């Protein structure tokens, strides 16, 4: 009996609410038929929990040996002792309905255990909610064991796997670190790898390879980069370049009285007489800075030392040649 008028006639919800009009009865019948079709379609995917159970049946004074349902998908039969199996069926109809279309309330233990496992893999409730279409508040209630959940909700939660992790979720980095080590063995420098992986300027992949965890997005980038390297699409770049001539030129500046502190500030890295005397190779970016200083000095010489400090001024081009000669004679 309907307590108050409803506006959803023609639905099962209205039928459950007490309405027995033709439209609501038809909706309830259609829902039952659709449910039975789903049971038939999903029956092949249901696995028995074990071999059929042995049982006996007494009828007309005679004892017969029968087979009883062992349950489905790891759970015992929904009927105590197991339903009597007829024909070739390995699982009874009630068990098939229970694991396919039945939507009653179930304990949260299985779903909670699965959510905690996903959490350890770096998959949070937001990613699970997006993948399962289950509200975040419901997932929080499951973890807190606040109330039982519907069987359909449990099935959606259990269907979420590691592939649902968000781009910025943290995952184990052991596999990606191994790939980074292989790349460095092939001649890739940390700075070059960092650029290829899209990290910020000045970053180094050596730091990335030392961490136990990384984001799922970064792990995917490492895997894709390794695939490109194996295909030969990317080759390592030589990080160092010969700087013997440039080192002699800088020594000439110091011999003419240029302070080491001024040179270090001007070049952006520390320069001393000892380091220059032992310098053979230098990073390409540092070599470019040295070449820029050489261009500035050459321009100053052409403009009568305009704009250069007193201690780096030369007495014409011959002064530069003399400085280089003195550096080479040391």
The string of pLDDT tens digits covering residues 310-320 is: 445 444 444 44
- Looking at residue 210, the DSSP 8-state letter turns out to be T
86, 63, 149: which is closest to 114 by C-alpha?
Answer: 149
Check residues 286 and 242 and name the one with the higher pLDDT: 286
Q: What is the pTM of this model?
A: 0.45
Non-local (6+) Cβ contacts of 268 within 8 A are 286, 289
For the chain, give every domain's residue range: 1-41, 58-102, 105-164, 170-230, 241-329
Instruction: Answer yes or no: is pLDDT of 266 > 70.
Output: yes
- How many Å separate Cα 186 from the centre of its chain? 25
The pLDDT value recorded for residue 164 is 65
Q: Using one digit for the tens of pLDDT, what is the confidence trace for 32-41?
A: 898 888 888 8
The pLDDT value recorded for residue 326 is 43
Give 207's pLDDT tier (boundaries 50, 70, 90). Answer: low
How far, in Å, CA of 72 to CA of 312, rounded? 89
How far, in Å, CA of 301 to CA of 305, rounded? 5
Segment among 78-82, 117-121, 314-318 with least mean pLDDT = 314-318
How far, in Å, CA of 290 to CA of 303, rounded? 20
Task: Tell me what percent of the residues of the chain surpass a pLDDT of 90.
Answer: 9
Pairing type for strands 240-242 and 281-283 reads antiparallel
Give 141's pLDDT tier (boundaries 50, 70, 90). Answer: very high
Instruction: Answer yes or no: is pLDDT of 329 > 70.
Output: no
> What does pLDDT average to over the chain?
79
The pLDDT value recorded for residue 92 is 86
């Amino acid at each position: 009996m309907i307590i108050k008028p409803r506006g959803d006639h023609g639905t099962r919800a209205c039928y459950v609410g007490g309405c027995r009009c033709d439209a609501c009865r038809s909706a309830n019948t259609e829902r039952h038929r659709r449910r039975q079709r789903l049971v038939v379609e999903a029956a092949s995917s249901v696995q028995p929990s074990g071999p059929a159970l042995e049982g006996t049946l007494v009828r007309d004074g005679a004892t017969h040996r029968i087979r009883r349902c062992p349950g489905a998908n790891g759970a015992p039969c929904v009927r105590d002792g197991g339903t009597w199996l007829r024909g070739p069926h390995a699982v009874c109809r009630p068990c098939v309905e229970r694991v396919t279309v039945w939507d009653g309330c179930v304990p949260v233990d299985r779903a909670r255990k699965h959510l905690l496992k996903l959490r350890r893999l770096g998959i949070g409730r937001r990613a699970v909610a997006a993948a399962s279409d289950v509200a975040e508040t419901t997932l929080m209630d499951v973890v807190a064991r606040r109330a039982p959940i519907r069987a359909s909700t449990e099935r959606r939660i259990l269907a979420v796997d590691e592939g649902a992790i968000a781009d910025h979720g943290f995952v184990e980095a052991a596999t990606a670190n191994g790939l980074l080590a292989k790349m460095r063995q092939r001649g890739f420098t940390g700075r070059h790898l960092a650029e290829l992986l899209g990290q910020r300027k000045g970053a180094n992949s050596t730091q990335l390879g030392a961490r136990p965890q990384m984001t799922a997005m970064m792990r995917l980038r490492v895997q894709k980069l390794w695939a490109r390297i194996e295909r030969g699409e990317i080759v390592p770049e030589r990080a160092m370049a010969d700087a013997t001539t440039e080192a002699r030129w800088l020594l000439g500046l110091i011999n003419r009285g240029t302070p080491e502190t001024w040179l270090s500030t001007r070049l952006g890295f520390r320069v001393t007489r000892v380091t220059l005397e032992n310098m053979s190779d230098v990073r390409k970016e540092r070599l470019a800075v040295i070449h820029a200083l050489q261009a500035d000095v050459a321009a100053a010489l052409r403009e009568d030392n305009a704009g250069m400090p007193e201690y780096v001024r030369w007495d014409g081009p011959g002064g530069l040649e003399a400085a280089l000669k003195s550096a080479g004679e040391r």
